[in-house]
Amino acid sequence: MRCAACRLRTARGFGWFDPRVRTSEPLPACSMRCMSALCRRWGVVDPDEHEIAAIAAASPMAGEYLESIGKTDLAVLTEAEWLTLLEVIITAYQDELARRLDAGRHHAPPLVASAAR
Where are the domains positioned within the chain? 1-45, 49-102
Q: Please give the pLDDT value at position 107.
A: 53
Q: What is the mean pLDDT of residues 109-117?
A: 48
At 41 the pLDDT is 66
Question: What b/e readout covers 3-34, taking b as 16+ CB neighbours within 10 angstroms?
Answer: bbbbeeeebeebbbeeeeeeeeeebbbbbeeb
Q: Is 54 exposed, middle or buried (0-12, 13-18, 19+ CB in 10 A)?
A: buried
The residue type found at 25 is E
pLDDT in tens, 74-89: 999 999 999 999 999 9
For residue 17, pLDDT over 90 is answered with no
**How high is the pLDDT of residue 115?**
47
